[in-house]
Amino acid sequence: MTASLDGRVAAAELTATLVGDGFLDGTDAGARDAFAGPESTADPLSLEYPVDGVIVPANLAPLEVQWSAPIAASLFRTRVTSADFVDLTLYTRRPELAIPADVWSRMAASAPD
């Protein structure tokens, strides 16, 4: 970030972190309550696609992230993190998340290639 006033210029690095909750597929803030008790590690979600840690070229079409749970579930909570940039908790009723094209293009622009 650069600022100037009366011929003086100052510059500093600025890092913004996106933090919060996202409620998808007809969920609302009440979805958070379904996960209010102690976390169970007996039936964790399992990322199916893409494989964790994969590097995706920016010129690919938007991905659909898919996960599975060993039990029948009607509500899912998943967390998307990237050190210092993103810490989102998403609530959805579906076992997949199609990344919208406009979001995908912004993601690609934030970390080219």
Half-sphere exposure of 26 (CA within 13 A, CB side): 4
- The pLDDT score that the predictor gives to residue 26 is 85
d(CA 93, CA 31): 10
**Pick from 18-22, 31-35, 54-58: least confident:** 54-58
Residue 33: helix, strand or coil by DSSP?
Answer: helix
Nearest of 53, 39, 49 to residue 97 by alpha carbon: 49
Question: pLDDT tens digits for 23-42?
Answer: 888 899 999 888 887 766 65
In percent, the amount of the chain with pLDDT more than 70 equals: 90
